[in-house]
Structure 1
Amino acid sequence: MCNLYSMTATVEAMRSVIGAFDGDTANLPPFDEIYPGKLAPVLFRPEPGKLKLELMEWGFPGPQAAKGRSVTNVRNLESPFWRNALVNPVRRCVVPVTRFCEWTEQPDPETKRKAKVWFGLHEEDEPWFAFPGIWRPGPERPFMAFLTCAANSVVGEIHPKAMPVMLRPGQIAEWLDNDHASACALAQPFADAEMRRLV
């Protein structure tokens, strides 16, 4: 389960790839470490053909089975908890990312703590990618969560159970606009050769 990522690409870097979008983006700071419960920039369609950037809280309010804890990752795409949002393109979103973290399974012998291992795109000239996600309104701010899938070999060396679904910016419209089955078909492990371990 991914519970830490970064988004440090500038608004200009995002617009250079996907074009114009709306939202209060003039003072968007770098987000070096985003944990569950924190605000993060998210792109969604407030109406067909429009794209908006808005800060949302990472984690859906959890069902009773989760004892009220927020649910940050969407793994079972057939779950009734997620299905209504996945079927409705209006409730889909994308989460811009520059890198994400998985923690080592075993603690460091000296520090007794698990270590952070960061992952990102293979090419350094590609400034960002995206997690496909879903969002919902909240009383104070919207909530979001993003999809995970089986781990590829690169991530699997550290976290064999799962990894976030990764989209290149050119795939954003496929996730936001396609029918339910076609959108969910994007939930595949990212190609090993196109990503790398950063630390």
Structure 2
Amino acid sequence: MCNLYSLRTGPAALRRAFGTVRDRTGNLPVLPAIFPDQMAPVVWNGAEGRELALMRWGIPGPKAFGEHPVTNVRNAASPHWRPWLGPAHRCLVPVTAFSEYADTKPRKTPVWFALDEDRPLFAFAGIWRPWTGVRGTKRENPDRVAEEHRLFSFLTTEANGIVGPVHPKAMPVLLTKPEEWAAWLEAPTPEALTLQRPLPDSAMREVARGARSDGAAPDAEPQT
């Protein structure tokens, strides 16, 4: 289960890459470590076209399981997720590297994966939904007041030969090409779900181990 990723691409480069017509993220910094329940940028279909916006990571799961926030969606056929699989509720989650934890002793080791050592931009295949309730840290919401939120999660699939030795159960759905981004945002649901497949081994690699933030060199410049 992927519960940690990073985004080293700056907002101008994000807007160019995804062809957004509006940026609602403000002065977006480099994000070397994004964890569940944090705010993170996504690309979604707004009223005038693609928008870059901030949403919170983790959609509540089924009531039968306590509605705990779900960060990774494997079973897209589940009735719980089906309402959010149409084009209006699909999004792209910009990423430059993601982490899975190797089951080492005495503690698990974060292992970072990217398309290559330079960490070019790609996207997770995301879904989003509106939700009203209490989320965020006590600093963000000290009185624990129910508020309106936009929440996102992303789809997973079978692990490929790169991720599998670290996390054999699953890996995120990685979209690396503009035509895949367009299909995920716009195509009919059956066509869009054909993208729920592992990335070929040759298209990605392990890039770092051990740190709970992006494994890029400390002096690496963000992509602007």
Partner of 1:119: 113
1:35, CA displacement in angstroms? 1.0
1:23, CA displacement in angstroms? 2.2
Distance 1:29 1:122 in 2: 22
Report how many aligned residue pairs link the two structures. 192
Partner of 2:221: none
Letter in structure 2 aligned against 1:54: A
Letter in structure 2 aligned against 1:122: D
Partner of 2:130: 137
Pairing of 1:157-172 with structure 2 (within 5 A): 157-170=165-178, 171-172=180-181
- Whether 2:49 is the aligned partner of 1:50: answer yes
**How much is the aligned-residue C-alpha RMSD, in angstroms?**
1.5
1:90, CA displacement in angstroms? 0.4
1:11, CA displacement in angstroms? 1.4
Pairing of 1:16-95 with structure 2 (within 5 A): 16-47=16-47, 50-86=49-85, 88-95=86-93
Tell me, yes or no, if the aligned pair for 2:160 and 2:201 is still in contact at 8 Å: yes
User: Where does structure 2 lack aligned partners over 5 or more consecutive residues?
Assistant: 133-147, 209-224
Tell me, yes or no, if the aligned pair for 1:18 and 1:169 is still in contact at 8 Å: no
Letter in structure 2 aligned against 1:13: A
Letter in structure 2 aligned against 1:192: D
Distance 1:58 1:154 in 2: 25
Letter in structure 1 aligned against 2:185: L
1:105, CA displacement in angstroms? 1.7
Normalising to structure 1: TM-score of the pair? 0.91
Distance 1:66 1:98 in 2: 32
Q: Percent identity?
A: 46
Equivalent position SS for 2:174: coil
Tell me, yes or no, if the aligned pair for 1:44 and 1:94 is still in contact at 8 Å: yes
Letter in structure 2 aligned against 1:102: E
Distance 1:16 1:56 in 2: 20
What are the superposed Cα offsets for residues 108-156 of structure 1, whole Å, 9 maximum, x if unpaired? xxxx2111000000262x6310001110112332000000000000000
What are the superposed Cα offsets for residues 131-190 of structure 1, whole Å, 9 maximum, x if unpaired? 011101123320000000000000001001100000014121100100111100000100
Partner of 2:202: 193
Letter in structure 1 aligned against 2:156: T
Give the number of the structure whose residues are more often strand, by fraction: 2
Distance 1:51 1:136 in 2: 16
Normalising to structure 2: TM-score of the pair? 0.81
Give the number of the structure whose residues are more often helix, by fraction: 1
